[in-house]
Each structure stands twice: as structure tokens, then as C-alpha cells.
């Protein structure tokens, strides 16, 4: 009899193991089924070359942008110092960093669905039952007893149709898109700082020009007043000299207002109160460096905003799979095991052991079109993100072309304006000599002075615009960023 019981117990154990193995094999085989479309990167029209690069001078090997710190190409120590402070103190950058951290944490939450959820429980209770309860047997039942339990419960959603895996895929794509967003914000902030910095330096150059012009006009006014006292000039000529002097002083004051605004903007970018920040005057004198635009096909790999848009297309694609998985049954496996005893001394013993294992399947039979609506919504969202990706690519090409054209045309304009400045200065010198010789009135000098100052200010503005366009070109081609910098998460 004992041998029979042993054989029966062994047979049950083998049967349980075979059943568990069959369930595991079934889950493994079915888990390879993932509904939803396979992701394919959307196509985008990419030209063979930049149109505006035809007349662009090739860059020297040493002109290549450094990885990350692209602003070092300008070889400006003060700009380098300010740019380094953005990564430490800028609050908008900290916001983007926090958003990436949240997206990475959301990915961890999604990944937890790939594994069982296990909980533990321990309880101790002493119970007194009513003797007047229904079906109470006074000869066999106890009314007063203790109950001690230690159990562990596990539940697992069998990812047969890939719902959990698609959720992980969507969360991973969103985390990578957020990482690209962070890189895009960082690139924009560094570019904005460089634009503001060169704008401020351009105003410093204007201020230096206006200051020297004011000195010249003061001397001219003094000369006119002396001539007036000597009877060689009229009061009108003195008034004309006084007018152009005060007008130039007013222009110099206005430049100070603009410079203060740039200085305050730079302070905010580096995370410092404007009241505690100042930059010394340093006129802009150097032309922009040569910047290699690269190939159009490289732009798809070098723009973080394009990378972010592409990652969100994949996320939308994964959410189509999540929506379609709702059409199939949801299989949940659960099990528990532990010990239960009326005495704590016999709690951890073989006879006190308990266990259970089972599964449940749930299928929605009627939802009034809810799943269809969710699926159509996911498909439409995917189409939206594909269109957004292609529009981002088109905008990127436009920005590169715009700034290549700006640099090329501004370089030609700078040469023309330099010639105009030289001609205006020569005309002014001739007019001043004619006035000193009494050949002409001061009106001619005033006209020559206005023309010379206007041309000189225009030359400074062109130099500033060239520097700004070079910064925007670097931003348009992605700086030193590359898609390989997106974390794999």
C-alpha cells in the first residue's frame, strides 16, 4: 500500500511538472507573435547637394566642427567661457534634462511588465467564531483557534500578442526622442548665446565707431564756431554742425540701450541675474570662419530635431500594435505558495505547505466600437508623426540653404560696402578741405559726414549679420551632434 501511494505521489508530481512545462512552452511559442506593423523608417526627399553650396568655398581640414563644443571654431575665449556656463546653470536646459529623466523612468515602468509581479504576505490571527452560525457542528468544530500564514503570490501577463513588448518599444522610442529633444534644446541655447554675444560685440563696434565720430564732430563744431567768430561762417553752419553732433550722440545712447538688452539676455542664458552680470566692451573685428555644410544626406543624422521626429514615428508605430493587441484575449497566469498552521511552531513544515497555480483568459466581446476607434486614432497619429518628420526635414534643408545664401551674399555685400566706406571717407575728406578753404558751405560737409557714418554703420551691421548667419548655419547642420549620441536606453 505504501509503495502504491509513493508511485501515485510520484505520478502526480511528474504530471504537475509536465503541465507546467507545457504551459511554459505554449507561452514561449505564442510570445513570438507580435501584432501590429513592423517599423520602417519613413522616406524623405533628400537632394543630392545644397543649392547654395555651389558657390561656397571649400573648408580647410582644420575647419571641421568639434564634437560638442562647436563654438570653439570662433576662437573667442570669452565666448567659450560663457558657453560652458550654459550646461551648468541654464534653467531651460535643466527642464529638458528632467523631461528626459522622466521618459527614462517611464521606460523602466514599461519594462516591468515583461516580468511577473511577486508579492509576499505574512499574517497571524486568533479567532473566536460564533457557535450560532449556520451549519455549525458543536461536536467537530472549534470556536477558538489561531491561524498563522506565510505566502507569496505571483501574477504574470503572458505577452502572447506583444502588447507589453510594443509598450516597451513605444516607451523606448519616446525616451530616445526626449534625449534628442534635450540635445536640440542644448544646441538652440548655445546658438542663441552665440547670436546674442556677436550681436553685443557688433554693438560694441558701433559704439566705438560712434564715439570716434563724436570726437571728430566735436572738432568740426569747434572749427565752425571759430570760423563763425571770425566772420567766415554763418550761424546756420554752426547749427548744422551742432545738429549732426547731437544726432550722433543720440545714436550712441541708443546703442547703449540695445547693448544692455543683449547683456541681460546673455545673463539669463547662463543662469545669472542680470543685475550681477556684465561684459567688458570688446568690438567685433574678425570675419566669420569657414564652415563646411556637409552633404544633405548627413543632415538626417546630424540634426537632433530630425532624430526626435523620427523616434516619435516609431513610437506611434508601436502604439498601433498596442491598439491591435486589444482585439485578442488577455491571458494572465497566477500562482501562490506558502505555509499555514494553527501553531507557529509547526508553521515552517512540509504538511503546512500550500500552493496553487492557474490561468485566466479575458476577451472583450462587445465595446461599441471602442477598440476600432482606438486603433484608428493610433493609425492617424502615426500619419501625423510621419508628416511632421518630413516637414522637419524640409525645414532643416531650408535653414541650411537660407544661411548658406546669407553668408555668400553678405560676403559679397561686405566687399561692396567696404568700397562704399572708402569712397565716403574720401568724399568727406574732400568736403572738409573745401570747407576749410572757403570754397563750399558746411551743408556739403554735413551731407558727406552723414553718408560716411551711414556706410560705416552699415559695414559693422553686415559684419555682425555674417557672424550671426555663421552661427545659425552651424545650428542648421546640427553643430557637432550626431544620431549616434542618442542613448540606447
Highest mean pLDDT: which of 65-69, 286-290, 416-420?
Answer: 416-420
Q: Which of 185, 190, 187 is nearest to 79 (CA)?
A: 190
Q: Which range (45-59, 101-115, 218-232, 366-380) has the least confidence?
A: 45-59
Residue recorded with cell 546673455: 266
The whole-number pLDDT of residue 356 equals 94
Has residue 119 got a pLDDT over 90?
yes
Cβ atoms < 10 Å from Cβ of 35:
18
Domain ranges of the chain: 42-115+161-328+370-485, 118-158+329-362
Has residue 4 got a pLDDT over 50?
no
Cell numbers that stand for 235 in this block: 550761424
The whole-number pLDDT of residue 49 equals 84
Q: pLDDT tens, 412-451?
A: 999 999 999 999 999 999 998 998 888 888 889 889 999 9
Q: How many CA atoms lie within 13 A of 255 on its CB side?
A: 24
The whole-number pLDDT of residue 55 equals 56
User: Sorting pLDDT into bands at 50, 70 and 90, what band is 373?
Assistant: very high
Q: pLDDT tens, 68-94?
A: 789 999 999 999 999 999 988 899 999
Q: How many CA atoms lie within 13 A of 160 on its CB side?
A: 17
The fraction of the chain above a pLDDT of 70, given in percent, is 89
Average pLDDT over residues 229-240: 89
Side by side, the strands of the sheet bearing 144-158 are 117-128, 144-158, 330-341, 353-362
Q: Which of 113, 93, 45, 51 is nearest to 325 (CA)?
A: 113
Q: Which range (47-61, 79-93, 106-120, 379-393) has the least confidence?
A: 47-61
User: Sorting pLDDT into bands at 50, 70 and 90, what band is 15?
Assistant: very low
User: Sorting pLDDT into bands at 50, 70 and 90, what band is 337?
Assistant: very high
Q: How many CA atoms lie within 13 A of 476 on its CB side?
A: 26
User: Sorting pLDDT into bands at 50, 70 and 90, what band is 283?
Assistant: very high
User: Sorting pLDDT into bands at 50, 70 and 90, what band is 14?
Assistant: very low
Mean pLDDT, the chain, rounded, equals: 88
Task: Give the CATH H-level superfamily of domain 42-115+161-328+370-485.
Answer: Outer membrane efflux proteins (OEP) (1.20.1600.10)
33 and 328 in contact (C-beta within 8 Å)?
no
The whole-number pLDDT of residue 52 equals 78
Average pLDDT over residues 367-376: 95
79 and 197 in contact (C-beta within 8 Å)?
yes
The whole-number pLDDT of residue 60 equals 42
The whole-number pLDDT of residue 129 equals 76
State the virtual CA torsion across 294, 297, 301, 302 in degrees, nearest 10.
30
User: Sorting pLDDT into bands at 50, 70 and 90, what band is 65?
Assistant: low
CATH number of 118-158+329-362: 2.20.200.10
Average pLDDT over residues 136-154: 80
Q: Which of 282, 293, 291 is nearest to 79 (CA)?
A: 282
Residue recorded with cell 547749427: 239
Average pLDDT over residues 132-148: 73
Phi, psi of 97 (to 5 degrees): -65, -40
The whole-number pLDDT of residue 139 equals 63
The whole-number pLDDT of residue 473 equals 94
Amino acid at each position: 500500500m505504501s509503495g502504491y501511494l509513493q508511485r501515485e505521489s510520484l505520478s502526480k508530481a511528474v504530471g504537475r511538472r509536465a503541465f507546467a512545462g507545457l504551459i511554459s512552452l505554449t507561452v514561449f511559442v505564442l510570445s513570438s507573435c507580435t501584432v501590429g506593423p513592423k517599423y520602417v523608417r519613413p522616406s524623405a526627399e533628400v537632394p543630392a547637394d545644397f543649392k547654395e553650396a555651389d558657390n561656397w568655398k571649400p573648408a580647410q581640414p582644420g575647419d571641421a566642427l568639434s564634437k560638442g563644443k562647436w563654438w570653439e571654431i570662433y576662437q573667442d575665449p570669452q565666448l567659450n567661457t560663457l558657453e560652458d556656463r550654459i550646461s551648468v546653470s541654464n534653467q531651460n536646459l535643466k527642464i529638458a534634462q528632467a523631461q528626459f529623466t522622466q521618459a527614462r523612468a517611464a521606460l523602466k515602468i514599461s519594462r516591468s511588465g515583461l516580468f511577473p509581479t511577486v508579492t509576499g504576505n505574512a499574517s497571524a490571527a486568533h479567532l473566536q467564531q460564533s457557535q450560532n452560525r449556520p451549519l455549525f457542528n458543536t461536536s467537530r468544530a472549534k470556536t477558538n483557534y489561531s491561524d498563522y500564514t506565510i505566502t507569496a503570490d505571483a501574477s504574470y501577463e503572458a505577452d502572447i500578442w506583444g502588447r507589453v513588448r510594443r509598450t516597451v518599444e513605444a516607451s523606448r522610442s519616446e525616451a530616445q526622442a526626449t534625449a534628442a529633444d534635450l540635445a536640440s534644446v542644448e544646441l538652440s541655447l548655445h546658438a542663441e548665446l552665440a547670436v546674442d554675444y556677436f550681436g553685443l560685440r557688433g554693438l560694441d563696434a558701433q559704439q566705438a565707431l560712434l564715439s570716434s565720430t563724436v570726437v571728430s564732430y566735436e572738432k568740426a563744431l569747434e572749427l565752425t564756431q571759430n570760423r563763425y567768430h571770425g566772420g567766415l561762417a554763418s550761424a546756420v553752419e554752426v547749427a548744422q554742425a551742432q545738429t549732426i553732433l547731437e544726432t550722433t550722440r543720440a545714436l550712441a545712447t541708443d546703442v547703449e540701450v540695445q547693448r544692455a538688452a543683449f547683456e541681460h539676455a546673455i545673463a539669463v542664458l547662463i543662469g545669472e541675474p542680470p543685475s550681477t552680470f556684465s561684459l567688458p566692451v570688446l568690438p567685433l573685428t574678425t570675419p566669420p570662419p569657414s564652415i563646411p555644410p556637409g552633404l544633405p544626406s548627413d543632415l538626417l543624422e546630424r540634426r537632433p530635431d530630425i532624430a526626435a521626429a523620427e523616434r516619435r514615428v516609431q513610437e506611434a508605430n508601436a502604439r498601433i500594435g498596442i491598439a491591435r493587441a486589444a482585439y485578442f484575449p488577455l491571458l494572465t497566469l497566477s500562482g501562490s505558495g506558502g505555509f499555514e498552521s494553527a501553531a507557529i511552531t509547526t508553521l515552517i513544515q512540509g504538511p503546512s505547505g500550500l500552493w496553487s497555480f492557474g490561468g485566466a483568459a479575458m476577451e472583450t466581446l462587445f465595446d461599441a466600437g471602442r477598440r476600432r476607434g482606438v486603433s484608428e486614432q493610433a493609425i492617424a497619429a502615426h500619419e501625423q508623426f510621419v508628416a511632421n518628420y518630413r516637414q522637419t526635414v524640409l525645414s532643416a534643408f531650408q535653414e541650411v540653404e537660407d544661411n548658406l545664401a546669407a553668408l555668400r551674399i553678405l560676403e559679397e555685400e561686405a566687399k561692396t560696402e567696404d568700397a562704399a566706406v572708402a569712397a565716403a571717407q574720401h568724399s568727406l575728406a574732400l568736403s572738409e578741405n573745401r570747407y576749410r578753404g572757403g570754397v563750399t558751405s558746411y551743408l556739403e560737409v554735413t551731407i558727406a559726414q552723414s553718408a560716411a557714418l551711414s556706410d560705416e554703420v552699415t559695414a559693422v551691421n553686415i559684419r555682425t549679420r555674417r557672424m550671426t548667419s555663421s552661427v545659425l548655419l552651424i545650428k542648421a547642420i546640427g553643430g557637432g551632434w550626431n544620431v549616434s549620441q542618442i542613448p540606447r536606453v
